[in-house]
Amino acid sequence: MSLRLKILGGFIFVMAIFTIALGVIYYNMGTLQVDVNNIPQEVEKTNQLNDVKYNVISQTAAIRGFLYYKQDNYAEQLRHLGEENVSAIQTMIDTAKQPSNKEAFTLLKDYQDKYNAVLSDKIVPLVKAGKEKEANEVAVKEGLPLTSGFNKAITSATEEQNNLLKDVVQNTNLKFISIKRLALVATLLALLVGLLLGFFLARSIALPLQKVAIESSKIAEGDLSGKEIDIHTRDEVGQLAQAFNKMLLNVRDLVTLVQEKSQLVAASSMQLSASSQNVAAGAQETALTINQVASIVEQVTVNTQHIAETSEQATTYAQAGTEGIDRISLQMQSIENATTGSGEIINTLNESAAKISQIVELITKIADQTNLLALNAAIEAARAGEQGRGFAVVAEEVRKLAEQSAVAAKEIHQLITSIQQETNKAVQSMADSVAQVKEGTVVVSEVGATFENIISAVQSLSGELQSVAAATEQMSAGVQNVAATTEEQAATVEEVSSTSQDLATMADELESLSKRFKVS
C-alpha cells in the first residue's frame, strides 16, 4: 500500500469516527430538541391545571353569588367556566403522552362534567324557580362532594404533571450530559486514533528513511560492506529501499571490479615494462652485433678491392708474358705467388662470409625473439582493455620492425651464401691456376695457351670480384638499414617502457582510489 493510501486511509478512519459520533450526537440532539419542545407544553398543561382549578373556585363563588343575587350573569359565568374547563381538560387528555396523566385528566373531566351537570340541570333551574333552599341543599349535598373530589383529582393531576415535568427536565439534562460526554469521548477517541495513526505512519516512514540515511552516510564515507536494508513494505519507502539496495550492490560490484582490474593492469604494466627492458637490452646487443657486422663488411670491401687490384696486376703480367718467352719463368713464379696470395685472401673472405652468416643467424634469432615479445606485449595490451590500446599500437610497430629485421637478415644471408659460392669458385680457380703455372714451368711449349687461360681466368676473377664488391656494398647498405631499424626499435622500446611506466602509475592511482571504498 502506498503512503498516499495509508495517509488517506487514516484520515478517512478518523473522519469516520467523527462522522459516527456526529450522527449519534445529531440523533440525540433531535430527541433532546423534542424533549425541550415538550417542556413548554408540559408547563402549559400545569398552567392549564391551575386555570382549571381557578375556574372551579370561580364557579363555587359564582354559585354563591347566583344563590344570593339571583342574577343571570352568574348563571352565564357558571356555564362559561364549565365549558372552558371541559375544553381545557379535553385538550390535556388529547395531548397527554403518559397513560397516568391521561387517566388523571380523564378523571378531572368526569368530575367537571358531573359538576357542570349539577349546576346546569339542578342548581340553576332551582334558583331560577325561586327555590334557593333546595338549590343550596343540592349544592351542599351534590356540589361540595364533587368539588372536593375535583380538588383532590386536580391536586393529583398537578402532582403527576409536575413529576412528569421534572422527569422531562431531568431526561433533557441527562441527554444533554450524555451528548456532551459523547462529544468529548468521540473527540478524545478521534484524537487518540489520529495520534496512533500518526505515530505508526511516522514510524513506518521515519524508521526506514533513518536506515537509508545511515547506510547512505556509510557509502558517503566509502564503506560499502553494509548489509541490505530489510524493508518489506510496498509503499514509496519500500521502493526507495529496494532502489538503494540495488544501487549498493551495483556500486560494490563496480568498486570490486575496478580493484581487480587495477591490480591486473598494474601486473600487466610491470610485465610489459620488464619485457620492454628485455627488448631494449636485445636491441642494444643487436646494435653491437650490427656494428661488428659493419666492421666485417668494411674489411670484406677492403679485401675485395685488394683482390681486384691483384687481378689487374695479374692481367698486366699475363699480357706482358706474351712479349717475351724468356721472362716466362719469372712471370710464372710471380703469377704463382699472386695466385697463392689471392687464394689466401679468398679463403679469408670465405671465413669472413661464414662469420657474417653466423651474425645474420643471430640477427634472425633476435628478430624472432623481438617478434615474440611484441606478440606477448600485444596480448597483454589486449588484456588491459581500453587502457592498453595505445601500447597495443606500439607493440604492433615493434612486431613490424622485427619482421622487417628478419627479412633484411634473410637477404643478408642470401648475399653471404652467394659470396661463399663465388669465393669457393675463386678458390677452385686459384687452385687450377696454380696447377697450370706448375705445368707451365715443365711444359714450355704450352706457355702461350697457358697464358691465354690465365688471362681468361683472371678476367673471370675480376668479374667475380666486381660482383663481390657490389654485393659487399649492398651488404653494407643492408647493415646500415638494419642499424637504423635497430635504433628505431630501441626508441620504440623506450617509448613502450615509458608508456608502461605511465600505465603502472595510473593503475596504482586507480587502485589507491578504489581502496578508499570498503567492500567487505
Distance (Å, whole) CA 228 – CA 251: 13
In which domain, by residue range, is 317 found? 263-512
pLDDT of residue 450 exceeding 80: no
Residue 483 CB partners (closer than 8 Å, separation 6+): 287, 290, 291, 294
Judgement on whether residues 302 and 435 belong to the same structural domain of the protein: yes
Q: How would you label 115-145 residue by residue, b for 16+ Cβ within 10 Å and e otherwise? A: bbebbeebbbebbeeeeeeebbebbeebbee
Judgement on whether residues 102 and 191 belong to the same structural domain of the protein: yes
The confidence score (pLDDT) of residue 29 equals 76
| Angle subtended at Cα 427 by Cα 426 and Cα 430, rounded to the nearest 5 degrees | 85
The CATH number covering residue 204 comes to 1.20.120.30
326-334 long-range contacts, Cβ below 8 Å, gap at least 24? 328/440, 328/444, 328/447, 329/441, 332/437, 332/440, 332/441
Quote the cell numbers at residue 157. Answer: 393531576
Distance (Å, whole) CA 474 – CA 174: 134
The confidence score (pLDDT) of residue 354 equals 80
Judgement on whether residues 209 and 271 belong to the same structural domain of the protein: no
The confidence score (pLDDT) of residue 83 equals 92
Weakest mean pLDDT among 45-49, 62-66, 334-338: 334-338
The CATH number covering residue 412 comes to 1.10.287
State how far the alpha carbon of 157 is from the alpha carbons of 84, 109, 165, 371, 449, in Å. Answer: 18, 11, 12, 135, 192
On the 0-12 / 13-18 / 19+ scale of CB atoms within 10 A, 267 is: middle
- Whether 322 is in a domain gets the answer yes
Average pLDDT, the chain: 78
- Whether 144 is in a domain gets the answer yes
Model confidence at 25, pLDDT cuts 50, 70, 90, reads confident
Per-residue pLDDT tens over the stretch 29-41: 787 676 667 677 6
HSE (side-chain half, CA atoms, 13 Å) at 422:
22
Percentage of the chain lying above the pLDDT 70 cut: 79
- Whether 519 is in a domain gets the answer no
479 and 293 Cβ atoms separated by less than 8 Å: yes
Per-residue pLDDT tens over the stretch 82-120: 999 999 999 999 988 888 889 988 999 999 999 899 988
Residue 469 CB partners (closer than 8 Å, separation 6+): 301, 304, 305, 308
- Whether 97 is in a domain gets the answer yes
Q: SS3 of 518, please?
A: strand
- Examine the fold and report which residue of 214, 247, 279 is the final residue of a domain before the chain moves on: 214
Any idea of the CA torsion for 465, 469, 474, 478, to the nearest 10 degrees?
A: 110
Judgement on whether residues 7 and 154 belong to the same structural domain of the protein: yes
Most confident residue range from 77-91, 210-224, 235-249, 469-483: 77-91
113 and 89 Cβ atoms separated by less than 8 Å: no
Say whether pTM exceeds 0.85: no
Residue 516 CB partners (closer than 8 Å, separation 6+): 222
Closest CA to 155 of 145, 143, 147, 144: 147
Residue 303 CB partners (closer than 8 Å, separation 6+): 345, 348, 349, 352
Model confidence at 338, pLDDT cuts 50, 70, 90, reads low
pLDDT of residue 293 exceeding 60: no
Weakest mean pLDDT among 22-26, 84-88, 307-311: 307-311
Model confidence at 177, pLDDT cuts 50, 70, 90, reads very high
Mean pLDDT to the nearest integer, 259-271: 75
Single-letter residue type at 4: R
The confidence score (pLDDT) of residue 91 equals 92
State how far the alpha carbon of 196 is from the alpha carbons of 178, 188, 236, in Å. Answer: 26, 12, 21
118 and 143 Cβ atoms separated by less than 8 Å: yes
pLDDT of residue 391 exceeding 60: yes
Distance (Å, whole) CA 266 – CA 502: 10
HSE (side-chain half, CA atoms, 13 Å) at 109:
15
Residue 118 CB partners (closer than 8 Å, separation 6+): 138, 139, 142, 143, 146
Q: Which residue has the higher pLDDT, 450 or 430?
A: 450
DSSP H stretches of helix in 221-235: none
Quote the cell numbers at residue 250. Answer: 551495483
Percentage of the chain lying above the pLDDT 90 cut: 6
Distance (Å, whole) CA 108 – CA 105: 5
- Whether 348 is in a domain gets the answer yes
Most confident residue range from 117-131, 284-298, 414-428: 117-131
User: How many structural domains comprise the chain?
Assistant: 2
- Examine the fold and report which residue of 155, 184, 214 is the final residue of a domain before the chain moves on: 214
Q: Which residue has the higher pLDDT, 321 or 99?
A: 99
